[in-house]
Amino acid sequence: MSKLFVVLLDDKRVNAIKGSGLEDKIEYMFGGNLRAFTMEMPDEKANTILKEFDTARTDTRGCITDTPLAFNRTLFEEIAKAKSLGPEVVDNTMARLDEIKELAAKESDYLPAPDIPT
């Protein structure tokens, strides 16, 4: 059975996919205040993700969660690049596995802060 993967969207991410045709696939939560894509992950790709990242797990909704943040960011970059939510996006993301793992290893020490005035 395939698994799901939720990709959260903020204004910046929504702007990045403007005109791609993906706008229609945005789902709205919390009264329309939170936007996300829900991607379907074929078994084989879900298993690869679960195998490659030891923190990753499947929750009770069948969603893969707790993947490294670097994976989540890269996945979105590939979605925006391919203008697609298809399985090739996961392939493109997994093709950058070394880069993701390198960033993920640093995630416990450093995460770039959002560029907002504080």
Partner 1 sequence: MSLRMTTPPPHGGRLEERVVRDPVLAKKLAKGCPVYDIKPTLSDKGVPVRNVYREIMSICYGFFSPVEGSMKEAEVERVLNERRLLNDWIFPYPLVFDISEEDYKQLGVTAGDRVLLRLKGKPFAILDVDEVWRIKDTTELAHRVFGTPEKNPEVVQEPFNAKHPGWVIYKSLNPVVLAGKYRIINEPKFRPPFDRFWLPPLKSREEYKKRGWTTVINHQTRNVPHVGHEHLMKNAAYMGDIEPCHGIQVNAIIGVKRKGDYPDESILEGHEAVNLGNYIKPQRHLVTFTLWDMRYGNPLESMLHGIIRQNMGCTHHMFGRDHAAVGEYYDMFATQTLWDKGIPSFGFDKSVCEVEYGLHIRPQNMREFWYCPLCQEIAYSESCGHTKEKEKFSGSFIRGMVGEGIFPPRVIFRPEVYTAVVKWWKEFNFPFCNQNYVVQQEQKLEVDLPDLDV
Residue 100 and residue 95: Cα distance in Å, rounded? 9
Residues 20-79 that bind partner 1 (CB under 8 A): 29-31, 33-34, 65-66, 69, 72-73
Of 93, 88, 75, 90, nearest in space to 36 by CA: 75
Residue 90 and residue 118: Cα distance in Å, rounded? 35
- Total residues contacting partner 1 (rule CB under 8 A)? 26
Q: How far is the CB of 31 from partner 1 (least distance, A)?
A: 6
Q: Please, which residues have CB within 8 angstroms of residue 81's CB and are 6 or more apart in sequence?
A: 92
Q: How far is the CB of 39 from partner 1 (least distance, A)?
A: 15
In the complex, which residues of this chain contact partner 1 (CB under 8 A)? 8-13, 29-31, 33-34, 65-66, 69, 72-73, 108-114, 116-118
